[in-house]
Amino acid sequence: IQLIAGNAHRALAEAISTEMNVPLCDAHVGRFPDGEIDIKIDDDVRGTDCFVLQPTCPPVNENWIELLLLIDCLRRASAGRITAVMPYYGYARKDRKDEGRVPISAKVVANTLTRSGADRVLTVDMHAAQIQGFYDVPVDHLYAKPVMIEEIIKLGIENPVVVTPDVGGIKMARSYAKVLDADLAIVDKRRISGAEVAVEHVIGDVKGRNVIIVDDMISTGGSISGAADILKKHGAKQVVICVTHAVFCGPAVERLTACAADHVLVTDTIPQRVEGQPAKLRVVSVA
Ligand code: R5P
């Protein structure tokens, strides 16, 4: 096995390497003076089982191109099998034409990844699981749920209700509810723009109950902070946010700090800056 890390998330790559007791491959992934990507893999990879550790997190476009070039480099060096390990899969939110004259970005990036030479894709809590069908190679779709459930148990949340912050997340919420033997509730959300949502109703009973809001990602934090606030207004006791991908753009950190949630659990699929994060934030490793 060879583990090859791009620049997207060195800390996660090192954590995976430690967990597996396999050192990271010697490779240079730098930049030419004009900003183009400069790659040279120093180890012999001929015939080996190569795992490219490169979530396509922000800066999304940079990280996607690095991933494609790393895979091309391995293919041309006669690697035996190449797996793109993308714990966070960027561009997953654009998986269909939901209005006229827009691209299906998730299909475009899937095409380029396949054509670059990836034999397999490994990802975690992909926003739209049907993106697996954009590939003719196997896609291993893993879940953060096992490590998240361990953390929820450590918090000692009793008799919880699992809540999805929008109807699209019902399947994920139900899978948590099943493991926790919990009831289910839904927050009715309407998206106004990329950064603004209107959170209007709660479907289900949360009065006097501890709630765990489950979602795949926090982008600007509007959906999750709005859900936390409305659940407290409806009489919820402790509110725990449990989200796999902490994209945290724009006002996300401020919204999470100000919202009514008592705990925010996220994973390390995306690198997190240490300073300035809300004290209620806990980062769980998927390594
Ligand atoms: C929506 O379908 C996703 O699951 C997330 O709820 C959404 O992307 C979060 O966006 P934001 O944090 O900007 O509200």
Q: Which of 229, 224, 197 is nearest to 213 (CA)?
A: 224
One digit per residue, the tens of pLDDT, for the chain of length 287 reads 999 999 999 999 999 999 999 999 999 999 999 999 999 999 999 999 999 999 999 999 999 999 999 999 999 999 999 999 999 999 999 999 999 999 999 999 999 999 999 999 999 999 999 999 999 999 999 999 999 999 999 999 999 999 999 988 999 999 999 999 999 999 998 888 877 888 889 999 999 999 999 999 999 999 999 999 999 999 999 999 999 999 999 999 999 999 999 999 999 999 988 788 889 999 999 99
Domain termination residue (choose one: 114, 142, 170): 142
Report how far residue 266's alpha carbon sits from residue 165's, in angstroms, rounded to the nearest whole number.
15
Domain hosting residue 127, numbered range: 2-142
- Are 253 and 226 in a shared domain? yes
CB 68 within 8 A of CB 113: yes
The rounded Cα 266 to chain-centroid distance in angstroms is 9
Domain termination residue (choose one: 92, 111, 142): 142
- Are 125 and 18 in a shared domain? yes
- Are 158 and 181 in a shared domain? yes
Atom of ligand 1 at shortest range from CA of 219:
12
Q: At 104, list the tokens.
A: 């299906």
Q: How far, in Å, is the centroid of ligand 1 from the Cα of 245?
A: 10
Q: Which residues are catalytic?
A: 189
Produce one character per residue of 37-48: b if its CB has 16 or more CB atoms within 10 Å, e if not. bebebeeebeeb
- Are 245 and 157 in a shared domain? yes
Total number of domains in the chain:
2
Atom of ligand 1 at shortest range from CA of 252:
12
- Are 237 and 214 in a shared domain? yes
| Rounded (10°) angle between helices 105-116 and 60-76 | 20
Other beta carbons within 10 angstroms of residue 162's beta carbon come to 25
The length of the chain, given as a count of residues: 287
Domain at 152, CATH number: 3.40.50.2020
Domain termination residue (choose one: 142, 177, 212): 142
CB 4 within 8 A of CB 27: yes
Report how far residue 250's alpha carbon sits from residue 195's, in angstroms, rounded to the nearest whole number.
8
Binding site, annotated residues for Mg(2+): 127, 166
- Are 128 and 20 in a shared domain? yes
CB 141 within 8 A of CB 151: no
Q: How far, in Å, is the centroid of ligand 1 from the Cα of 76?
A: 38
- Are 178 and 224 in a shared domain? yes
- Are 161 and 214 in a shared domain? yes
